[in-house]
Amino acid sequence: CAVVCPVDCLYEKDASKTVLETLKNKNKNGKICVAITAPSVRVGISEEADLPAGTDSTGQMVAALKAFGFDYVFDTNTGADLTIMEEGTELLSRLGQGTMFTSCCPGWVNMVEKVYPELIPNLSSCRSPQGMAGAVIRHKFSQVLGVKPEDIYLVSFMPCTAKKDEIKREQLSGDIDEVCTVREFGRMLTAEKVDLKALPAADFDEFFGESTGGGDIFGASGGVMEAALRFAHEAATGKPAPNVEFDGAVRPGKAGIKEATVALDGKELKVAVVSGGDNIAKLIKRIKAGDKFDFVEVMACPGGCVGGGGMPKGKAFKKNVPKRAEGLYSIDRSKGHRKSQENDTLQRLYASMLGGAPGSHEAHELLHTTYSPRQ
């Protein structure tokens, strides 16, 4: 099925016309229209506007979504920071209990449920950044606005075709109405005659619009691991991590599998980062044969979401993937706050709506999920 193909051997079912139509009729339908944007979208959309691969178009991307008619534009990167707070906390509580695998890639989650169901207990229980952002916006932002959750029309812009399938998971309770890939975003620019390059930059809206460098690098293979390590050291020791960049250790570059041993509070944490179906199969085989890892980041698309099935295609695709990743690392370096735990918006949300701290009962109810074997 095209909508679950993580590497784009088939194309997506296009939702762009439906979304534009809904935006045009929002007053008639009484809908508050909200967009969220994944880390890779801010660099991917540049190529749809004929800008060089890796160009950061964050402000113009927000402005374009507002020009389409969205009332609010929030950042899935805030959801990525939230994922790190929850997943990093979960990792520390599960240390010594076998490998914990990341769960933010639905291509990988599908693979576990269908091919490796015996690994379900090893998956993090965290929803993906899209899943967390969807839950917070539908159930908490609606409270802030004083409207019913169903009054919000929530569209997620993603580098990913598998995310279209993810929102239909029963466990995610229909929080997101539509997912559009970066290519569909490009079609919307054309249909609405919006010239992305000419737009003055706009800011994300405040409720869920702040991200740290930790959230920004989620789109590149190794980014989730690096963000988690930035969090885990501080959470385990109460002291700032000696460094924030783990590039030599966990950024895979051209390698499909990267392994490292990282010091954490007097212990050694064995980690691995893997992307692409063949590499995943190889690493799982090794783990089943007895290789031990504490934490493994898995992304179905080679290079991570910057190489996702919903990103711009063309002859330069393979060359553009590392440029897009470098675009994300450059955004990270430009940030004053580079660790997810430094996200002030999330500190406020935890204090007011999410049970006080990561791993709370409220956070578990809203931000975690379950898995089950599937055919």
Residues in contact with ligand SF4 by the rule CB under 6 A: 6, 105-107, 159-160, 162-163, 299-301, 304-305, 308-309
Q: How far is the CB of 199 from ligand SF4 (least distance, A)?
A: 26
Q: Residue 262 forms beta bridges with which residues? A: 269
Which CB, 159 or 341, lies closer to ligand SF4?
159
Run of H or E including 273: strand 267-275
Ramachandran category for residue 314: left, alpha or beta (phi over 0 → left; psi -120 to 50 → alpha) = left
Q: How far is the CB of 280 from ligand SF4 (least distance, A)?
A: 11
Which CB, 104 or 152, lies closer to ligand SF4?
104
Q: How far is the CB of 96 from ligand SF4 (least distance, A)?
A: 28
Q: How far is the CB of 300 from ligand SF4 (least distance, A)?
A: 4
Q: How far is the CB of 263 from ligand SF4 (least distance, A)?
A: 28
Q: How far is the CB of 121 from ligand SF4 (least distance, A)?
A: 21
Which CB, 112 or 305, lies closer to ligand SF4?
305
Residue-wise burial string across 158-184, b where 16 or more C-beta atoms lie within 10 A, e elsewhere: bbbbbbbbbbebeebeebbbbbbbbbb
Which CB, 213 or 222, lies closer to ligand SF4?
222
Alpha-carbon dihedral angle through residues 348, 353, 354, 357, given to the nearest 10 degrees: 40
The DSSP call for residue 126 is B
Phi, psi of 325 (to 5 degrees): -60, -45
Which CB, 42 or 163, lies closer to ligand SF4?
163
Are the CB atoms for 152 and 175 separated by under 8 Å? Answer: no
> From CA 81, how far away is CA 89, in angstroms rounded?
12
Contacts of 302 (CB under 8 A, 6+ apart): 7, 221, 256, 275, 276, 279, 321
Which CB, 79 or 159, lies closer to ligand SF4?
159
Cβ-proximal residue to ligand SF4, closest one: 308
Q: How far is the CB of 218 from ligand SF4 (least distance, A)?
A: 9
Are the CB atoms for 98 and 212 separated by under 8 Å? Answer: no
Run of H or E including 351: helix 344-352
Which CB, 236 or 327, lies closer to ligand SF4?
327
